[in-house]
Amino acid sequence: MTLELHACTYAYRPWTRPVLDGLDYRLPPGVTVLLGPNGAGKSTLLRLAAGVTRPRGGSVTLDGTPSGARAYRRAVAWMPQQVTAMTALTAREQVAYTGWLKGMNRADAWAAAATALVRVDLAGQADTRARRLSGGQLRRVGVAAALVHGARVLLLDEPTAGMDPRQRRVFRDVLATLANEVTVLLSTHDVADLAEESDQVTVLETGRVRYTGSTEGFLAHAPADVAPGRRAEAAYTALSESTA
């Protein structure tokens, strides 16, 4: 299962400097955490990988299937940075609707939505209108929607933003169970929280891959005397401060 961006260029406006300029990126199996400062291009990369945005140049493929294809859309799930509550729908309806949009029949989508909500610890709110949920709960609806149709690649844009510590823990547990099933790329600013639990780390800076490789290799950038719980942050800082 190889998701690949090849020579991808993307600018939000034709006259502005591209956010990504000829980017080559290959997503390895397992869980990869995508780090980088504000504006580095993480969301843009995720949107291109999700096929919701088309590159101006280059290609995005999954085992050779182009991102515009229906098979690609079924295989890849994307959770946007802003999860929007669908007015009038309950949490379960919103998740089921995503499954239906991805090609599931209504009955399967309805059943899978319940299972996905259990996985993100939101079964108790299944019948609550999505617009009444808190920001953190709504993000969990977004995670459930990404899980509902059995995608093989999950692209999650800051999934833990706004979650309280308990919900972060739930999310990390979900991630641990997913690790053997699917390929995950998730962006986060919670360096300490997630980077040490991932298989790989990618650091993006001004649209360029500053580091991509094993989490172990990433952590090795931390100074030797750093306490174990602080290694990810220290490694990230060291990488950001070193010259390219």
Ligand X SMILES: Nc1ncnc2c1ncn2[C@@H]1O[C@H](COP(=O)(O)OP(=O)(O)OP(=O)(O)O)[C@@H](O)[C@H]1O
| Interacting residue ranges for ligand X, rule: CB under 6 A | 12, 19, 36, 38-44
Nearer to ligand X, 41 or 58 (CB): 41
For residue 3, the cross-strand partners are 27, 62
Three-state secondary structure call for residue 157: strand
Nearer to ligand X, 37 or 66 (CB): 37
Backbone angles phi, psi at 94, to 5 degrees: -65, -45
Burial class of residue 149, CB neighbours in 10 A (0-12, 13-18, 19+): buried
Quote the least distance from Cβ 229 to ligand X, whole Å: 23
Residue 149 near residue 99, CB atoms below 8 Å: yes
Its sign, for the CA torsion 78, 195, 216, 212, is: positive
Contacts of 58 (CB under 8 A, 6+ apart): 5, 6, 7, 8, 9, 22, 23
Quote the least distance from Cβ 96 to ligand X, whole Å: 28
CA 4 to CA 74: how far, in whole Å? 16
Nearer to ligand X, 117 or 203 (CB): 203
Quote the least distance from Cβ 178 to ligand X, whole Å: 22
Nearer to ligand X, 42 or 139 (CB): 42
Quote the least distance from Cβ 104 to ligand X, whole Å: 29
Widest distance between CA atoms in the chain: 55
Q: Which residue has the tokens 């990390």?
A: 172
Nearer to ligand X, 39 or 217 (CB): 39
Quote the least distance from Cβ 42 to ligand X, whole Å: 3
Quote the least distance from Cβ 111 to ligand X, whole Å: 34
Nearer to ligand X, 121 or 190 (CB): 190
